[in-house]
Amino acid sequence: MTEKTIIITGASDGIGRAAATNLKASGANVVITGRSMEKTKAVAEELKVPYYISDFSKLDEVRKLGSELIKDYSTIDVLANNAGGIMGSDRILTQDGYDRAIQVNHLAGFLLTNILMDTLCASKATVINTSSAAQQFSGEIDVNDLKLEKGYSRMGAYGKSKLMNVLFTKELHRRYNPEGISTAAFHPGVVRTNFGEEFGGSTKFLYSGPMKYVLRTPEKGADTLVWLATSIPGKDWASGEYYSNRKIKRPNRQAEDTQNAKNLWEISLKATGIA
């Protein structure tokens, strides 16, 4: 492949790490980010790629990351907003005042993308958002409720944040595809990662018990991300869509609501302080 500059967030483990490994081997100029210095540095040294440390539960750290990437890269061909996770059983607000799942899984990637927007547009970039089939089971979403004050459950918060990934993708396409940006959200499958081990709770058995042996490998989970990053938008795949196993899938009906997507964008702009 022609050498591309590809930034992957949440690449210290799981499908982010698998995607970074695959893309580096294919000749891409891969850049990784992660929350843990120890884990991210170890992956970067193994792959011989640059790395950045940023805790997405702190929006100031996302702003710092964005500024560093703008300074260091005049061209960004692919931004993979992959960082995220299933949070704890209790609702926890970040220091910025938002539900932790909503901030880490949606607001941080939204903020980073917008900080890099000029570079992404100039590069005719692809923006890939890691979503989940959990968005199908999110329940009714209120895009005004970024604190999840109207009822909280661990998996409900995760599902809502993953639905926001799809809404973000739809509105990013509507606003910026004419400027040259192509974008897609995708479901990686239920992947054998440290999701449950890191956050515990009711999903720990699924991710770290005997069931983990029937789950997808991170490499299989990363397949659609790698495909989107290396193939041609408009020819091989359609911008603004939600994918699973390299095929367009219909997301939650709420993701098809154009006004929902517009409202979430405007609310996210205010929440992240973007002018």
Structural domain spans, the chain: 5-272
pLDDT at 216: 66
What is the per-residue pLDDT across 73-114, written as a single tens digit (0 to 9) for each? 999 999 999 999 999 899 999 999 999 999 999 999 999 999
Q: pTM for the whole thing?
A: 0.92
Q: Would you state the structure tokens that stand for residue 236, as one six-digit string?
A: 């091989």
Residues facing residue 93 across a β-bridge = 99
Predicted confidence at residue 190, as pLDDT, reads 80
Q: How far apart are CA 163 and CA 207, in angstroms?
A: 22
Taking the C-alpha atoms of residue 8 and residue 158, their distance in angstroms, rounded to an integer, is 20
The pair of three-digit structure tokens given for residue 58, joined into one six-digit string: 């702190």
What does the angle CA 64 – CA 194 – CA 41 come to, to the nearest 5 degrees? Answer: 40
Residue 212 is predicted with a pLDDT of 52
CA–CA separation, 42 and 49 (whole Å): 10
Tell me what pLDDT residue 201 has.
45
Please count the helices (runs of H) and the strands (runs of E) in the chain.
12, 8
Active site residues per annotation: 158
Model pLDDT, residue 151: 85
Q: What distance in Å separates the CA atoms of residue 251 and residue 151, rounded to the nearest whole number?
A: 23
User: In this structure, which topology does domain 5-272 adopt according to CATH?
Assistant: Rossmann fold (3.40.50)
Nearest to 99 by CA among 35, 61, 146: 146
Provide the pLDDT for residue 191. 62
Which residues of the chain, if any, have pLDDT below 70?
A: 1-2, 191-216
Q: Give the position of tokens 């989107």.
A: 228
pLDDT reported for residue 196: 43
Amino acid of residue 27:
G
Task: Look up tokens 């993708």; give the residue.
Answer: 169
The letter for the amino acid at 254 is Q
Token pair belonging to 172: 């990013």
CA–centroid distance for 147 within its chain:
19
